[in-house]
Amino acid sequence: MKTGHEVVEIDCAERRVLVRRLDNGSELWEPYGQLLIATGAVPFRPDIPNAQATGIYGVHTLQDAAVLRRVLDEQRPKRGVIVGGGYIGLEMAEALIRVGLEVTLVDRSEQVMGTLDPDMGTEVTEALRCFGVEVHLGETVKEFTASGGVVTGIKTDQRTVAADMVILGMGVRPNSSLASRYGIPLGEKDSIRVDNGMRTGIDGIWAAGDCAETFHLVSRKPFYVALGTVANKQGRVAGLNIAGGEAVFPGVVGTAVTKVCNLEVARTGLQEAEIARLGLDYVSNIITTTTRAGYYPGSGPIHVKLLAEKGTGRLLGGQIVGSEGSAKRIDIVAVSLHAGFTVEQLIDLDLAYAPPFSSVWDPVQIAARELVKLI
Amino acid sequence: MKTGHEVVEIDCAERRVLVRRLDNGSELWEPYGQLLIATGAVPFRPDIPNAQATGIYGVHTLQDAAVLRRVLDEQRPKRGVIVGGGYIGLEMAEALIRVGLEVTLVDRSEQVMGTLDPDMGTEVTEALRCFGVEVHLGETVKEFTASGGVVTGIKTDQRTVAADMVILGMGVRPNSSLASRYGIPLGEKDSIRVDNGMRTGIDGIWAAGDCAETFHLVSRKPFYVALGTVANKQGRVAGLNIAGGEAVFPGVVGTAVTKVCNLEVARTGLQEAEIARLGLDYVSNIITTTTRAGYYPGSGPIHVKLLAEKGTGRLLGGQIVGSEGSAKRIDIVAVSLHAGFTVEQLIDLDLAYAPPFSSVWDPVQIAARELVKLI
């Protein structure tokens, strides 16, 4: 293993890569038998005034987190602005609230958590406001303000917000430019196109992780998602196959989960916008119930949304927002999507019940019982 | 709806039942169009000396719980003995520990939680002892001791234990004697035999709930289990069909869950003894990992056991014992059993991950990754 080196050219014909030493810039051609591209993703940074000011932080590497920790401990900032209301934005909102900052979150969309439908995203926005986060939606950050090279706040198309620190959670892009430059085909969102064995189609070249495409088992279409779960599974399959195996990674159903303060948020499958794009006719509902038997200590609210194809009843997706004990229930929906179950089949599932864990009908099944009436 | 009445005879030919008023004993023939038998189950009481002494409690109805609560509050017993180490026994152990009693638990088996394999049951026994419960296994209660009609303890085949109260958690039997007496066929463990629409086979007579049989989707054999989840599903199907519908209850996979103090215990599918009875060749393993990312606050130990058919890799069952956040993961295994998945397919599942909820590979998948090597 070589750290401090970077591949700057790929020569597929000669099966070799040009490796540059980062310390002195010297370069060397290295031959390869099999080449795995696992270059990950790059966090998006907007190209607006003062984007390079001190006090604007991305959250990508462990090192980024260590820097943030040190800044929080040593500089004791009072006001934090978070740009972006996705997983990173929400998790950082919790982190900053916990250490006592005033937190403002800005997102150009009309909702936080764009991977939820608007009706469920609203639940998260409301909760954020309850936690004391000032949330501004439908606003685009036009510039960072700075004084002496240090950030002093942001300007959106609607307001100015003062801040001692700004955290960017604006999503990532697959780091596929090198691959693309040397003729390796790209797919969804410019991720590296791979088959279900992680082959790029160029002999001896493989790709896996946040730089690589995957397949969506519900839409039956190529898909891109930058998540550790998917990256791990792809890495395992690539490794097995490079070693001569015949492993297959069938794809994902789009499962993701996060937590902000005491609110748990989870989703899987297709959301309404995706279903509409596929031209499918669908039904959906949202139920509100409790995470445990209503009388049991610690029972709290949970909202479950299910989506299914009209007519066939085939399950298409699910979203959960609720208190402690809510989120991992999304796995019931995720496994059911893998199995191709209908909503009726969800009702029949023999799920675990005892008062500390669930109602007699799991909340997911309560949603299914209501939704089945609309199929 | 008539409370305070009891059916004492069934006349299938004339489609009528003889109903007795419990207050004055008067009897009346009532005609029926459709008859649903939902007589539930009866808790087992051993026929040994002093079984009727005051201070020996079953836990069957809400009324039983209210009595127990009053006894605990008013009489302040110091020492409690629990007979039986199943769900009721464990949950009552927690309840008595919480109010400060010295608790002894006795079970005639060599392990508590007989629905777990011995290796997983041992984990529960050890935890019970850590919680301060004195556990005696492989001992049969031969008599209750009493003074002036009030229980003073128990005598097993090995020892005497003093107690101010005794709680029975010795399991239930289907309450099917009336049905049986009038020619309605019985099945597994003398539960009322039903088809997947809850029909008894006698025209116009249905059965559902703890008095009725069900079907095990993994063993593909008739099965009896007295659980609220199953009873609810059967009741729904019986109701729909009595109203003219064509609902089907396919059956169960044997899922159950309980909690004792901070230990969560869950199981689904077939256990080793059941698999052996079916004559299947199987493999199994146990892994120990953490409920959350190892570095995340609140992460605790979780043990996962998986069982699969040798050769085909078909998943046969799973058991989980662990700290908070462990138990509901059994639903991943349960849904996978419904889907007929192999262990390899478990590895591919797109399950929810974020550090507060899981490791990148869910503990169930970590177990699957190990087990697949033995298939």
Q: Which residue has the higher pLDDT, A340 or A261?
A: A340
Chain B, nearest residue to A336 by Cα? B335
- Residue B365 CA: distances (Å) to CA of A51, A215, A233, B63, B311: 42, 20, 11, 43, 19
What digits encode the pLDDT tens for the residues A139-171?
999 999 999 999 999 999 999 999 999 999 999
Confidence of residue B3 (pLDDT cuts 50, 70, 90): confident
Which part of chain B has CATH 3.50.50.60?
A: 43-170, 256-374
- Residue B169 CA: distances (Å) to CA of A173, B44, B108, B172: 58, 8, 12, 9
Confidence of residue B294 (pLDDT cuts 50, 70, 90): confident
> Which stretches of A165-271 are assigned E, i.e. beta strand?
165-168, 172-174, 205-207, 214-216, 221-223, 256-260, 263-269
- Residue B61 CA: distances (Å) to CA of A129, B4, B65, B66, B167: 44, 16, 7, 9, 14
Q: What are phi and psi of A246, to 5 degrees?
A: -130, 50
Q: What's the whole-number average pLDDT of chain B?
A: 96
Q: What's the whole-number average pLDDT of chain A?
A: 96
Q: Please tell me the predicted confidence (pLDDT) of residue A127.
A: 93
Which part of chain A has CATH 3.30.390.30?
A: 265-374
Q: Please tell me the predicted confidence (pLDDT) of residue A3.
A: 83
Give yes or no for a contact between A96 and A103, defined as CB atoms under 8 angstroms apart. yes
How far apart CA B199 and CA B37 sit, in angstroms, is 10
Pick A335's closest partner by Cβ from B228, B349, B354: B349
Which among A339, A364, A341, A221 is positioned nearest to A289, based on CA atoms? A364
Q: Given an 8 Å threshold on Cβ–Cβ distance, is B352 in contact with A255?
A: yes
Give yes or no for a contact between A324 and B326, defined as CB atoms under 8 angstroms apart. no
Q: Please tell me the predicted confidence (pLDDT) of residue B286.
A: 98
pTM, rounded to two decimals: 0.96
Which among B177, B246, B249 is positioned nearest to B208, based on CA atoms? B249
How far apart CA B333 and CA B280 sit, in angstroms, is 19
Token pair 């199995």 is at which residue? A339
Supply the CATH classification number for the domain B256-374: 3.50.50.60
Which among B356, B294, B292, B351 is positioned nearest to B326, based on CA atoms? B292
**Residue A347 touches partner B, C-beta closer than 8 Å:** yes
Largest CA distance in chain A: 69
Q: Please tell me the predicted confidence (pLDDT) of residue B34.
A: 97
Pick B229's closest partner by Cβ from A232, A353, A356: A353
Q: Given an 8 Å threshold on Cβ–Cβ distance, is B350 in contact with A229?
A: yes
Q: Given an 8 Å threshold on Cβ–Cβ distance, is A233 in contact with B353?
A: no
Handedness of CA B77, B79, B82, B88 (dihedral sign): positive
Pairing of strands A56-58, A165-168: parallel
What digits encode the pLDDT tens for the residues B34-43?
999 999 999 9
pLDDT surpasses 80 at B1: no
Which part of chain A has CATH 3.50.50.60?
A: 5-39+177-242, 43-170
Mean pLDDT value across residues A185-205: 97
Question: Taking a contact as any Cβ pair under 8 Å apart, which residues of chain A between 305 and 324 contact chain B?
Answer: none
Q: Given an 8 Å threshold on Cβ–Cβ distance, is A257 in contact with B353?
A: yes
What digits encode the pLDDT tens for the residues B159-206?
999 999 999 999 999 999 999 999 999 999 999 999 999 999 999 999
What digits encode the pLDDT tens for the residues B49-68?
999 999 999 998 899 999 99
Residue type, A345: Q
DSSP state of A184: P
pLDDT surpasses 80 at B2: no
Give yes or no for a contact between A213 and A192, defined as CB atoms under 8 angstroms apart. yes
The H or E element containing residue A158 is none
What digits encode the pLDDT tens for the residues B298-354?
999 999 999 999 999 999 999 999 999 999 999 999 999 999 999 999 999 999 999
Show Cβ contacts of residue B219 under 8 Å, excluding neighbours closer than 6 positions: B270, B274, B278
Q: Please tell me the predicted confidence (pLDDT) of residue A1.
A: 65
Show Cβ contacts of residue B307 under 8 Å, excluding neighbours closer than 6 positions: B269, B270, B271, B272, B275, B282, B283, B284, B315, B316, B317, B318
CATH topology of domain A265-374: Enolase-like; domain 1 (3.30.390)
Confidence of residue A55 (pLDDT cuts 50, 70, 90): very high
What digits encode the pLDDT tens for the residues A228-242?
999 999 999 999 999
Question: Taking a contact as any Cβ pair under 8 Å apart, which residues of chain A between 163 and 202 contact chain B?
Answer: none
Tokens standing for residue B346: 């478990």
pLDDT surpasses 90 at A294: no
Neighbours of B8 (CB within 10 A): 12
Which among B213, B184, B175 is positioned nearest to B196, based on CA atoms? B213
* CB–CB contacts below 8 A, A to B: 149
pLDDT surpasses 70 at B273: yes
Mean pLDDT value across residues A75-97: 95
Pick A351's closest partner by Cβ from B229, B249, B264: B229
How far apart CA A55 and CA A71 sit, in angstroms, is 9
The H or E element containing residue B15 is none
Give yes or no for a contact between A334 and A320, defined as CB atoms under 8 angstroms apart. no
The CATH number of A5-39+177-242, from 3.50.50.60, 3.40.50.300, 3.40.50.720, 3.10.310.30, is 3.50.50.60
SS3 content of chain B, % helix, strand, coil (to 5): 25, 30, 40
Which among A240, A168, A162, A256 is positioned nearest to A208, based on CA atoms? A240
How far apart CA A286 and CA A368 sit, in angstroms, is 10
Residue type, B246: E
- Residue A68 CA: distances (Å) to CA of A78, A80, B100, B281: 14, 12, 47, 54
Which among B178, B167, B221, B187 is positioned nearest to B38, based on CA atoms? B178
The H or E element containing residue A104 is strand A102-107
Q: Given an 8 Å threshold on Cβ–Cβ distance, is A349 in contact with B356?
A: no
**Residue A254 touches partner B, C-beta closer than 8 Å:** yes
Give yes or no for a contact between A373 and A347, defined as CB atoms under 8 angstroms apart. no
pLDDT surpasses 80 at A324: yes
So what's the architecture of B43-170 in CATH?
3-Layer(bba) Sandwich (3.50)
